[in-house]
Structure 1
Amino acid sequence: MDESHGHYQSLSRDLSVPAKELRALTPDVWKGFADLSRAAMAEGELPAKYKELIALSIAIARECDGCISSHARGAARKGVTPQEVAEMVGVTILMLGGPGTVYGPRAWQAFNEFYTPQVD
């Protein structure tokens, strides 16, 4: 693993090459998914940062490390705080049980790899 990046940053980078190869072979599928993602995650009545928290919770439930990486990065970029992630993980554990206690900490680790504290 690259010493300057954490596991989830490396995972994101490692998945980018095969994703680009597949995108070149099936561009309409990937464009459709990208369009759906942009529409679903856009600001609306529900703020985009909450949408990232929902997506991160579902990533935990689906036990998808690639999804955790993507939505942890998205949450960090949308201004989600560590406390908000911690509380979301708590609700996810409530609803999911034991697997949430394994994948919740993974999401926490991923978020912290991407999070940069805001200085006032």
Structure 2
Amino acid sequence: MTYGKAVREELRTPARELRRAIPDVYRGYAELHGATLRAGALDVKTKELIAFAIAVGKQCDGCIAAHAQGAVNAGATLQEAAEAIGVAILMNGGPGTVYGPRAYAAFGEFHTAAGGSTPTVTHDSR
């Protein structure tokens, strides 16, 4: 099962239709998005990881997919993504433990597609 690419594909057509219906809203959002994620005191990677963690807390699969890919494109590592998810779990409790794994899987998909290593699973003996 995929959590990143499948979600983005599922939303592609309805998002395009809605964007055509309310183009000014989407233009405004695109401007806000660009201004917010542009490098400043925080670099793009850090901003994408923050957005990625917030997406877990908001339980938004589309946001998780978008910011997983954005974080990968900005050079984030699997470990950085895992630690950002850890912060989301801290701040959200149980729901973070459901959406966190989805987010890690989405990040792993985009990371692997970008030529990175595949996430490895280790089993705790506890």
TM-score (norm 1): 0.89
Return the match for 1:13 from 9, 16, 41: 9
Q: 2:92 matched to which residue of 1?
A: 96
After superposition, what is the alpha-carbon deviation per residue over 1:9-61, rounded to whole angstroms, capped at 9, x for unaligned?
02101211111111111110000000100000111110011111110111000
Distance 1:94 1:15 in 2: 29
Question: In the alignment, residue 104 of structure 1 is paired with which amino acid?
Answer: G
> Structure 1 residue runs of 4+, over 2 Å off?
none
Q: Which runs of 5+ in 1 are unaligned?
A: none
- The answer to whether the aligner puts 1:51 opposite 2:50 as a matched pair is no
Distance 1:54 1:48 in 2: 10
Verify the 8 A CA contact 2:3 2:65 in the aligned structure 1. Answer: no
Distance 2:98 2:6 in 1: 20
TM-score (norm 2): 0.85
- The answer to whether the aligner puts 1:87 opposite 2:83 as a matched pair is yes
Distance 2:16 2:76 in 1: 28
CA RMSD of aligned residues (A): 1.4
Distance 2:3 2:79 in 1: 22
Q: Which runs of 5+ in 2 are unaligned?
A: 118-126
In structure 2, relative to structure 1, the CA distance for the partners of 1:114 and 1:21 (3 Å cut) is: same
Q: 2:57 matched to which residue of 1?
A: 61
